[in-house]
Amino acid sequence: MSTRDLKDKAQRHPEKAHKADTPILRKPSWIRVKAPNSAGYKATRDILKENSLTTVCEEAGCPNVGECWSMGHATMMIMGDICTRGCSFCNIATGKPETDSLDVFEPGRVAAAVEKLSLNHVVITSVDRDDLDDGGAEHFSQTIRAIRRRSPDTTIEILTPDFLHCAPEALETVVEARPDVFNHNLETVPGLYPEVRAGARYFHSLRLLQRVKELDPAMFTKSGVMVGLGETKREVLQVMDDMRAADIDFLTIGQYLQPTPKHHVVDRFVDPEEFQSYENSAYGKGFLMVSATPLTRSSYHAGDDFAQLRDARLAKLAD
């Protein structure tokens, strides 16, 4: 069976459904985007295709793909395009990967694409690979090192899985490769984990980010949540407090958008004023950097945000 056939089969798995065939709500005006068709978008697409690379931009149906690719920015997804988890919010295919061996040439292809795109900042993410003993930690490490060799001035941000079923050494392997930003998303409030992120554990994810800081206090840590899944504002504020207790530097908050009728329903569309309120609260709690808008995603404007994050740390140290 081909990878594409596996993906098609995986997308039909009922465990990704929150409610069967729930109609998708019409988006409000503040989160509608134009279809991608610029020359820059096509050039980025061609470079990624030439290097046989998968992006979370496409796989997860990111609404910002047109804007980001037009500027030559893309979030590359390593270790295949089939995830071993079945989160009800996510549009990436769920199933058992065709093989448990990883493409040893993939780190080099990612590095080549980073060089061709002349990226100042790159984001590397992956599917969850619970079938691998280290969850793909060594593959992350090899990818970071390959980029460093070809593009030593490029800053590297990783968005990792939770390494839930791995030995502690898995996280240490990734941190030792020294990415500039270690990102792992909590995704939602703890009370919604059973229906939104059933294969994960809230406090494990929180501890993962705290452990990164213990291993390398200078490394920036980042995490994000979606709103509109059914959470309350009080719960979001509590997640902020939990993140700050884990010394997380950078918080992202964005609107959840239902990918298909079989995914978790949108509880509500949060208006821009509430996002501004979240941003104000987060800065008040001590985050160095906050991005809270309806279209915010983990890697949206990641390069510009990293520059601001670095400046914010320098300003804090100066004070």
Q: What is the pLDDT of residues 234-262, one digit of tens each?
A: 999 999 999 999 999 999 999 999 888 88
Dist. CA 225–CA 232, nearest whole Å: 13
Dist. CA 252–CA 240, nearest whole Å: 10
pLDDT at 39: 62
Q: What is the mean pLDDT of residues 38-55?
A: 63
What's the fold here for domain 3-318? TIM Barrel (3.20.20)
Position 84 pLDDT exceeds 50: yes
Quick one: DSSP state of residue 200? S
Give the tens place of pLDDT for each residue, 129-185: 999 999 999 999 999 999 999 999 999 999 999 999 999 999 999 999 999 999 999
Domain ranges of the chain: 3-318
Cβ atoms of residues 81 and 93 within 8 Å: yes
CB-neighbour burial class of residue 70 (10 A; exposed 0-12, middle 13-18, buried 19+): middle
Phi, psi dihedral angles at 293 (to 5 degrees): -145, 165
- Which band of pLDDT confidence, cut at 50, 70 and 90, is reported for residue 52? low
DSSP string, 105-170: THHHHHHHHHHHTT-SEEEEEE---TTSTTTTHHHHHHHHHHHHHH-TT-EEEEE----TTS-THH
Dist. CA 93–CA 85, nearest whole Å: 9
- Name residue 318's amino acid: A
- Which band of pLDDT confidence, cut at 50, 70 and 90, is reported for residue 65? low
* pLDDT > 70 in the chain, percent: 79
pLDDT at 8: 43
pLDDT at 119: 87
pLDDT at 118: 86
Query: Which has the higher per-residue pLDDT, 95 or 47?
Result: 95
Dist. CA 306–CA 50, nearest whole Å: 28
Give the tens place of pLDDT for each residue, 222-235: 999 999 999 999 99
Dist. CA 175–CA 3, nearest whole Å: 31
CA dihedral 93, 96, 98, 101 (to 10 degrees): 110
